[in-house]
Each structure stands twice: as C-alpha cells, then as structure tokens.
Chain A
Amino acid sequence: MKGLEPAQGEITVLLAKWKDGEPSAFEELMPLVYPHLRQVAAAYVRRERNPDVLQATSLVNELYLRLLNQRQAVGEDRQHFYTFAAKVMRLILIDHARGNQAQIRGGGLQRVPLSDDLAWINIGSPELLDLNRALDELAAIDPYKVQLVELRYFLGCTSEETASLMHISKATVDRELKFIKSWLYRRIHPDGKEESPSA
C-alpha cells in the first residue's frame, strides 16, 4: 500500500542508522525521497535555475519537513538528511548522464553547468561521469571531501549553507573546495588540457 506518509520519527531513525553505516537504511530511505528529488533534478536539467524561482536547498528543506510531518527541522537530523539527499542527487544526475550517453551521444543538448563554481562540468555530459569516477577515488582517500562536493555541487547548496551543515566556516569550505576542484581537474585532465567542451 503506497501513499501513506512515513510515521513521524521513522525518517530520523533511518537517517541515524544510515549515518551509522547501515546500508539497508539507505535502501529504505530511497523510495521516500527519490521521486521528490527527481523533480528537483529535472528542474536542474531543464535549466530552470533562476535562483529566485528554484532553490534546490529550499525544496529539499520543504521535502524534509513534509517527511517529518512538519516537525521543526534542526540540528543533526537536518545535516544527515542533507548529506543523504546530496548523495541521492548525485545518483540521479549520474543515472541521467548515463541515459544521455546511451540515447543521444553527441547530440546538440544545451550546455547546463552543474554549478557556477564548477562550470566546466555540464549536466548530462561525459565529464560528469568522469567526475563521478574521480569522486569514487577521492572517497577512498577522504570521504569527507566527497560530502562537501556532493552538498555544494550536486545538491546546489551555497558555500554558506554547506558551511553551516558541516559545522565549519565558509572560508574553510571555499579553501577545501579550491583544492578539491584542482585535484579533480587534474584527475579528469591528466594531460593538462581541457577536452573540447562539446563533442
């Protein structure tokens, strides 16, 4: 039976379990969140990214509140939810990019940057898949940095929002990302040149 809102507290329990490394919790959370996040992602892809109209983070917040039955979203729970949502968002966008490669390789899609701060990676592009692979490598070395990337670039949080979610300063977020971006760029372009932006 579908259509029932999750019981209050269920989400928080699942999030805590997920944070404690219980993989089944991730599976259970997914169906609750996935359809809504897909809508956010679709808006991304269609480039409805006028910041006044659509802000990913406020949509996610609304989603979260709805899942919690309007309980005040604060503290740890919120952080867990956001890092979770960012991870799901990465999955959605990567799935979308894979589908794209299969369907319309080289098609004349409009270029939509993943983020203005990482503008050389476009949504639905092969670089996004490269980025995904590089992030998997990074996760083996420093998973914390991957979380930053997911929040900031996949979920579309601002530096300030990322900083407040991770309990660090904005300056630290920017500094860390500066390094991560350079490292990722080097991973994706080992010969030092950017590949041709459009195929």
Chain B
Amino acid sequence: MKETTASFLKLEAIFHEVLLFEETNPGAGVGEARARLIDELCHGDPALITEIHALLRASDEESQATASHRTVPAPGPPPGMEERRQRPRGETLERKRIGAYQIDRLLGRGGMGAVYLAHRADGQFEQQVAIKLIDLPLATDLFRERFRQERQILAGLQHPFIARLVDGGVTPEGDLYLAMEYIDGVPIHRFCADHKLTQTQRLALFKNVCQAVQFAHQNLVVHRDLKPDNILVASDGTPRLLDFGTAKILSPSTENDGKDFTRQGFSSYTPQYASPEQVLGNPITTASDTYSLGVLLYLLLTETMPYALKEMSTAELVRVICEEPPRKPGNAAGSDKRLDLDLEAILMKALRKEPSERYLTVEQLTTDIQDYLDGHPVNARRGTFRYRAAKFIRRNRLALAGAGLLALTLSAGIAGVLWQARVANQQRRKADARSADLRQLSNSLLSELDDAIKQLPGSTGVQKLLVTRVLEHLDRMAADAQGDRATLLDLADAYSRLASLQGDPYYQNLGDPDGGLTSESKAVALIQPLVNANPNDLQALQSLATAQVTRSEILFGTGKTSDAVASMQAAVRAYDRLIAPSSAPVELIGEVAAVYGSLGDELGQSGTASLGDKAAALAAYRKTMELDHRALGIDPNFVRAKRGLAIIQMKIGSAELETDPTQSLKDFQSALTTLDALPDKEKSTLTMIRLRSMMQRKEANALEMTGRYGESYGLYDQVRRAQQDLADQDPQDLRALSDLQVILNDEAGTYDDEAGDTLAPPQRTEKERHTYLIHGRDLYAQCVSLFDRMLKRDPTNANWRVQQAYAEVKVGSMSQQLHEAGDGASLSRKGMATLKELAAKPDASVMVLDYAFDAALIVEPVELRDPPFALACAEREVALGHRQIPSGFLALARSSRAAGQVGKAHAAAKDGLALLPAPRPGEGKGRIQKLLEAELRP
C-alpha cells in the first residue's frame, strides 16, 4: 500500500487520540470503548480501522521488544503519575460534575482533551454549555499553557458571533476546564448546502464571520485555524466562531518566545486552510486569517476547494500551497456556474501567496464584499491588474528586453511598433496601478491607525507593527521604482506620512524621531532629483515642501531648533511659489497657513525651545491669519481655515503673553470662541480635544499673568483632569504625557509664584504660604517622574532633560524650605549639575538659559547658588531674544542684582518695562511688570 501524506496524517492523529484515550481511561473494560472510539474516529472506514488496530498492536510489540532488549533499566513513571492513576475507577467522566455543571455526554475528543455537553447542575437556570477539559495525566506544560491562553483570549473576546466563554476553572482533580456557550449548529458550508442559500445570502453570512474575525484582530488575536468545523451556524442563521485553541496574541515583539505553537508540524492547523507562511513556519500575522477566510469563501461560493490537496506528500503539499495559483473558481471541478469576475478578484486577492499582497485587514475584505453586493467596483480588481502586470514584467523582463532590440532592428516594421507600444503600455500601466495601490495603502494606513487610536486604548503596539510592515513595503517598492515620476512622488508622500507617525510631535506619534527622520530623508532623496531636474514641477515641489515641514517638526521636537527653522523656511519658500497664483486651491492655502504657524512657533514660541525671536514669530503668525482669511474668502465654510484661525489666535496670544497679558487673555478667549463655533463632528476628534485643553491652559496662564490667581487655579485643575484622562487612556502615548507634564509644570509655577514674595496675593498668611509650597512641591515632583517615563522613551530629548532638571531643583529646594526630612539637597545638586551642563553648550536655547539662570538664583541650599553663572546665562538670553523679550531683561535684572551690580539691574528692569505697553485704565499690572518693577528697588 502506498501511503500518502493525507492518510498518514490522519493515521497519526487517530493514533494519538487513541493513546490519549487509553491514558485517561486506564483499567479494565477499556477495550470495547477503545474499539468504539476507533470506529467513530475512522468514520467506519474498514481499511483505516484495520490499519489503526495493526499500528496499535505494533506499538505494544515495539514497547515490549525494546524493553526486552534494553540494556539500561527503563525510567520509572514520572512523579505524579501514580497518584493520578489511583483515581476511583468506577466513576466515568460521563457522570461527573465539573464545577457547577453536570456532564451529559461526550461531544468529541480534540487535540488537547475532550469536549462534553453539560448543563448547570445547581438548578439556578437552564443553560447548556460545552465543556472543554484537559484531562490528560500526561498533559504537558505546553498544553496547559495553551489552554490558559485560550481562556485568556476568550475572556477578552465578547462578540455576538464568537462563542462566549461562560466559565472556567480547575476541577478538584486538578484538571483545567473551560465552559463555553454550547452552539447547536452545523459547520458553515453544510449550513449553506442544507439550506440551499443563494450567493447573496452566502456572502451576507460570510460577512458576519468576517466581523467576528476582524473583532478578534482588533483585540490583537489571530485565530490561526479558521475552517468550517470551527464556524458553526445556528438554526437562526447566526454564525459563531469557535476554538481559539491555536489562536495567538500578537505582541509588538514578534520573535518567538519558545511558547509559540506554530512550529509544531501539522497538528496545529489544517493544511487545506493554511496559508503559505503557516506551512513554511514563518511568522503568522492577521494576514494568515485573511487567507483562511479566502479559502472558506472559495468553498462557500464554489463548493470546491482552491487546491486539490488529497493525495500528496508533505513536500508536495508545501509546494502547492506556496507556489501554485489557486484553481480558477470559474473552472472549479463540479461547478457549472461561472463566478462573477469581481468575486473571483476578491478571492484571488485574499489568497495571495505574499501576505502583504492580500487585503491589509479583514475589514477591507468585508468592504469589498459589501461593494460587490452594492454593485460598486471592488478594490481587488485594481490590485489584480497591478499584480498581474508586475508578474508579467518580472517573468518576461528578459524577453521584453530582447523584444525591444528586435523592434529596433525592424526599424519601421509594424511588429516593432507593436512591441514597443506594448512594452511602454505595460510600464505605464504598471506605474498607474502601483500608484493606485499606494494610495490605497496610505489611505488604509491612516484609517487603520485612526480606528486603532479610537477603538483600542494602548494602541501604540498595533501602530508599531503596522509601521514596520508599511516601511518594508515602501522600501521594496522604492527599490523597484526605476525613476517613474508618479510612483516616486507617491512613495515620497507615503514616506512623509510614515515619518509623521513615527515621530512628529505635532501629531499622535510613536516617539521614534530618529526613525521619522530616516523615513523623511528617504522621501527627500526620492523627490529632490525631480525638483532639480525640473524646478517647475509643482507637484514635486509640493511633495518636497511637505517632507521638509515634517522634517522640521520632528527636529524641533527634539530640540534641534536651528536645523528645524532652516528646514521650515525652505518649505515656506516652496509653498509661497505654489500659492502665488490667485487660482491656488483653498486646501493648499489652508495648508500653507498652518505651515507659517509652525514657522512662527519655531521662531519665537515661548515655553518651547524656539529661537526666541518674538517679532519674527508674530510676523509669521500674521501671515497665517492673512492666508486663513484668504481661504475663507474663497470658501466661507472651509473648516480647516476656521480651525486655523482659532489656533493662530491662541499663538498670537501666547506671543503677547509676557508683554501684554491682558490683550493675550482676550486672544485666548476669542480663540476658544472660534473653536467652539466649529461643527460638533470637528470638535470631537482627539486633536481638537487636546487643542481645547491647551487653549484653556493658556487662558489660565494669562489669568495668572494678570494676577487673577484664584480663577487660574480652577481652570488649571479642570485642564489637568482632562489631560490626566487622555494620558491614562494610552500610557504609551508620549504626546499625552508631555501635555500632562506642561500643565503640571504651569500649575506648579503658579503655586510657586504665590509662595514667593513679589507676587504673593495680598494678606497671604504663613499657613497659606506653607500650603502653596506643598502643592508646588508635589506638582513638580510629579513632573520629575513624568519626565523619567518620557526620557525612557527618548533619552536624547534635550528639552525634557532641561525641564526635568529644573523641576528637580524646585522639588529639592522647596522641600528644604518646608524643612522636610529626606535628601532635598542632593536632588537640587543633581538638577543644578544637569542645567549647567546643558547651558554650557554653545547652541543652548532661550528656554535652557532661562531655566538655568533662575535655578542658579533660587536653589537651596544657598551654597549652590551661582550669580555669575546666572548673569552669563541672562546676557546670552537677552542677546538671543534680540533684546525684545521682557523676561530676558527680568533675568538680567535679577542676576545683576544677585551679582551685586544694582545699577545694571535697574537699567535692565527699565529696558524690560519699556517693552511693555502702557497700562490701560481699569487693568491690573501683569506678572512680568510686577516682577520688573520690583527690580527697580534700591
């Protein structure tokens, strides 16, 4: 008899089943039960039954033969065996109770144990459950681990189309069990056949299955064994997904940790539904499930399998699954109806050999099916063409080149012209199709991420996976682009988007600025040659500008301000050319407006590592307002410009905060009004929630600056709560952490002011001062630990290091003022050392210098104070700010006084006060004004 792989696998599976049965049911009377089990497992196939019995006999004889020839005594039974064997024998499982359940009958035996039908025995309520039990005395830790994992997976998956986990635990004998919702249904393909479902009904049913799988994927679970036997349909027509016994939880670290069950031969999955990567033992992703769904859909639509796998060896099986195209569904054996071309395309896309060529998500597969049902064009067909064209070119590259030569020698011959046309056409179509594919990729990238962000708290892990996948895809395509302009542009844009995801601090990002800069330089390397070749290629120019903006934003976020400004100015120059014509599209104008806003930030935004050039910043901001108004002139409902106006009002307010806090407060309040007038849909995005929070924080800053401390506390508190919520939702989200840090820092500063002398509220009691100090110290301490978390993610961020060092000095000093036990002094010393190190750099920003000077004047213990150092910092700060920043003069005045140069202090204070507008009637003095005036004292 010639054995085949399929029958060999079957034989092996049944063999193990029977041995398991024997091990679990030791003792007399097993023989008959065993024979029954074998009959059942072999579905009455007489040849198979004979073979199994012969094999089991051979097994016994082999053991005896080995034992009788063995020269070394056989090892004793493993510890624990004896004890298990001594279970009361008369009691069969069939009558047993497991937890609150009474076993009714055996439903079947599976790879890891048995499944029983049971009902609740405590009479609480009628409920039938399927109990899955590991009752193998020899169950390995691996089995147990897998079982635990299944339980963990199921507990997290509550979906109407996934069989529910009802209960689970350990029996008194120490066996693990799961109680599952019992599905009285039939496998999906049988259901379709029995009920003679129409094609439309089948597609609808399949879509429901996709929903369940998509849901699992969103929870980072890959099923890995999708097949009809695991998808039962109840009589009411609702499907249920079962058996997550081979499922896997995806983790961002995809390497095998030794507990990976994929490399366990064929026992872990079903070859007919297995993807190429599965049979090859390569890493499994959600795309493997997409493939299995493709096989399932193939079966439901054609009632045949995509491959004839019956009589094959393992090697042959692997070869067919990995290399042969699926049978054309239209020609599938036994099928007289031709399948619609769109459906065929959908099947082929799901069944691609390369995971990256398949639908990126199950949702996309579902969308295509819905589009088909609605009569819309399906995505798969575009992909099919691109795929075929690329394949054709790859296969025929040599032939085509030869043909080109042939065409030349035939000069004007008709054949030559035809050949050339065909080659050119192929190339062009290949490029077109690729662009379509890329756009699809970029779109799906963004929508997928949006979904991930909204639906999965802690989604950063998913994003990382996705980014890696997309980057591989892009690198492959870039290597293949061969100077095709449209493809190069699309690729560059895709790299830019990716860069922004990786590390642009202006957006939700993965905290990987270096990765972002690398992607961005790939983008620039692709476009720059196009712009050089044709300076009037406006599309290329725009791509380049986009890339430069992202590059600049990433650089700014990491504290490399001068490089950032240079990049942003280059972008602005390109954009100015693009919007020069009066016919420039409104979207582009809106975009350029925002870019000017970013330029302004880098030039002179306060509280960041900007260049400190207020005047230049305000000029850029005014340009933004102008452009937003121009855009609204064209389209009064252009939301982006409205939002842009709100943002720029806020930014102008920030720039004026020091010089004119009263005006600035008005700016913030009108920014909030503009924002609140936006449509609800627009306001509910995470970005806008964050923005509103930021505006309120600024409003609180302004209230504080005008001396309205009482009002500012309430507002700070409100904002801090909102930020804390956002940060809690995704602890991986760096941006949420950094927002929270900013608000904590501001709030701490307010308490600090109130605890000080110059800005103390009138009639402040000593007790109040004490309370303010405690609040301030607590908030600064929270900042320090937040920075610890942030710096762990990006240890090179200079902005965070300086702020953390300052907060350390504050915590150290305040706790000494409070006469607290503990080592405040050494914390102060540590912070001071960092600040001095950072300020010593020649390119230290205004922010670094301002923190350093202040710390050097206020630090406790007093011996750490360093007025000459503070003075040097203040002088550099004033120069960097082009002698336009009042707080710079305040720094100069305070350090001069501390260094004993009272005259110089007076002069600096006067210079600073001259920058402030004359007080308007009825308005109090601002914070900076009060502080500067205080420096006029003798």
Residues of A within 8 A of B (CB): 111, 113, 116-120, 137, 140-144, 167-169, 171-172, 175-176, 178-179, 181-183, 185-186, 189, 192-194, 197
Contact B140 A113 (CB under 8 A): no
Contact B70 A119 (CB under 8 A): yes
Nearest chain A residue, comparing its CB with the CB of B315: A143
Contact with A along B263-278 (1 / 0, CB 8 A): 1110000000000000
Closest A residue to B281 by CB, please name it: A167
B58 contacts A192, C-beta separation under 8 Å: yes
A120 contacts B16, C-beta separation under 8 Å: no
Give the 3 A-B CB pairs with smallest separation, nearest first: A119-B69, A182-B59, A120-B65
Whether the pair A189, B61 counts as a contact (CB closer than 8 A) is yes
C-alpha spacing A85/B138, complex, angstroms = 32
Tell whether, in the assembled complex, residue B313 and residue A116 are in contact, meaning their CB atoms are under 8 Å apart: no
Whether B61 contacts A183 by the Cβ 8 Å rule is no
A119 pairs with B5, CB closer than 8 A: no
Contact A185 B65 (CB under 8 A): yes
- Nearest chain B CB to A17 CB, angstrom units: 19
Q: Known: A117-B66, A120-B62. Is A141-B8 also a contact (CB below 8 A)?
A: yes
A182 to B65, CA, bound (A): 11
Complex contacts, A137 vs chain B, CB 8 Å: 3
Q: How far is the CA of A142 from the CA of B67 in the complex (A)?
A: 27
CA of A189 to CA of B57 in the docked complex: distance in angstroms?
Answer: 11
Minimal Cβ-Cβ distance residue in A for B263? A167
Residue of A nearest to B20 (CB): A175
Report chain B residues within 8 Å CB of A183. Answer: 11, 55, 58
B263 touches A119 (CB 8 A): no
Report how far A175 CA is from B136 CA in the complex, Å.
13
Contacts of B399 in A (CB 8 A): none
A113/B62 in contact, CB under 8 A: no
CA distance A67 to B629 in the complex (A): 76
Instruction: Among B5, B16, B57, point to the contact of A141 (Cβ < 8 A).
Output: B5
Q: Quick check: B59 and A185 within 8 Å, CB to CB?
A: yes
- Specify which chain B residues have a CB less than 8 angstroms from the CB of A189 in the assembled complex: 58, 61
CA distance A93 to B5 in the complex (A): 28
Q: Is the CB of B66 within 8 A of A119?
A: yes
Give the interface SS of chain B, mostly helix, strand, loop or mixed: helix
Q: Assess whether B140 is in contact with A142, with CB atoms less than 8 Å apart.
A: no
Interface string of B685-696 (1 = CB under 8 A from A): 000000000000
* Complex Cα–Cα for A198 and B19 (A): 31
Q: Which A residues are in CB contact (< 8 Å) with B12?
A: 179
> With an 8 A cutoff between CB atoms, is B71 at the interface?
yes
Q: How far is the CA of A174 from the CA of B12 in the complex (A)?
A: 14
The interface residues of chain B lying within 8 Å CB-to-CB of A143 are 314-315
A51 smallest CB distance to B (angstroms) = 9
Q: Are A192 and B54 in contact (CB under 8 A)?
A: yes
| Beyond A120-B65, A141-B3, 11 extra complex contacts between A and B, CB < 8 Å | A116-B70, A119-B65, A120-B69, A142-B313, A179-B16, A182-B58, A183-B55, A186-B54, A186-B55, A192-B57, A193-B61
Known: A168-B263, A169-B142. A116 touches B71 (CB 8 A): yes
Q: Let me know if B4 is at the binding interface, CB within 8 A.
A: yes
Which residue of the partner chain, among A141, A178, A186, A194, contacts B65 with CB atoms under 8 Å? Answer: A194
Per-residue CB contact flags for chain B residues 4-19 toward chain A (1 = under 8 Å, else 0) read 1100100110011001
A117 to B16, CA, bound (A): 19
Q: Chain B, 286-299, contact with A by CB distance < 8 Å: what is the 0/1 string? A: 00000000000000
Closest chain B residue to A169, Cβ basis: B142
B contact residues, total (Cβ < 8 Å): 35
Query: How many Å from the CB of A50 to the closest CB on chain B?
Result: 11
Chain B neighbourhood of A120, CB < 8 A: 62, 65-66, 68-69
B140 to A169, Cβ gap below 8 A? yes
C-alpha spacing A163/B611, complex, angstroms: 62
**Is B918 in the interface zone, CB < 8 Å from A?**
no
> Across the interface, which residues of B come within 8 angstroms of A142, CB to CB?
5, 8, 313-314
Name the residue on A nearest B54 (C-beta): A186
Across the interface, B314 reaches (CB within 8 A) one of A113, A141, A179, A193, namely A141
Annotate B69-102 by CB proximity to A: 1 below 8 A, 0 otherwise. 1111000000000000000000000000000000
Residues of B within 8 A of A181 (CB): 59, 62, 66
Q: Which of B68, B140, B265 is in CB contact (< 8 Å) with A171?
A: B140
CA distance A137 to B68 in the complex (A): 27
B76 CB → nearest A CB, Å: 15
| Chain B residues, CB < 8 A from A175 | 16
Chain A residues whose CB sits within 8 angstroms of the CB of B57 once the complex forms:
192
Q: State the CA gap A111–B264 with chains docked (Å).
A: 36
Give per-residue flags for B40-65: 1 if the beta carbon is below 8 A from chain A beta carbons, else 0. 00000000000000111111011001
Residues of B within 8 A of A176 (CB): 265
CA distance A148 to B176 in the complex (A): 31
Q: Which of A111, A113, A140, A192 meets B313, CB within 8 Å?
A: A140
Among A116, A176, A185, which residue has the most Cβ atoms of chain B within 10 A?
A: A185
Kindly list chain A residues whose C-beta atoms are within 8 Å of the C-beta of B56: 182
A117 CA to B72 CA in the complex, in Å?
A: 10
How far apart sit A148 and B624, CA to CA, in the bound complex (Å)? 71
Which of chain B's residues 177-208 have a Cβ closer than 8 Å to chain A? Answer: none
How far, in Å, is B113 (CB) from chain A's closest CB? 15
Other-chain residue from A111, A141, A144, A197 in contact with B4 (beta carbon distance below 8 A): A141
- B248 CB to closest chain A CB, in angstroms? 16
Of B3, B54, B69, the most chain A CB neighbours within 10 A belong to B69
Question: When chains A and B are docked, how far (Å) is the Cα of A164 from the Cα of B374?
Answer: 54
Would you give 15 A-B contacts (Cβ < 8 Å), ordered by A? Answer: A117-B66, A119-B67, A120-B66, A141-B4, A141-B314, A143-B315, A169-B140, A171-B142, A172-B142, A178-B59, A179-B12, A179-B15, A181-B66, A183-B58, A185-B65
Q: Who on chain B is nearest to A47 by CB?
A: B71
Contacts of A192 in B (CB 8 A): 54, 57-58, 61
* Contact A182:B69 (CB < 8 A) given known A140-B313, A141-B4, A168-B264: no
| Selected contact of A182 from candidates B62, B67, B72, CB within 8 Å | B62
A197 to B68, CA, bound (A): 11
A185 to B64, CA, bound (A): 12
Report how far A169 CA is from B69 CA in the complex, Å.
Answer: 27
**In the complex, how many angstroms separate the beta carbon of A124 from the nearest chain B beta carbon?**
14
B312 to chain A, nearest CB (A): 10
User: Which residues of B are found within 8 Å of A186, using beta-carbon distances?
Assistant: 54-55, 58
CA distance A60 to B523 in the complex (A): 51
Residues of A within 8 Å of B55, CB to CB, are: 182-183, 186
> In the complex, what distance in Å separates the CA atom of A167 from the CA atom of B56?
28
Considering the complex, give the chain B residue whose CB is closest to the CB of A49. Answer: B71
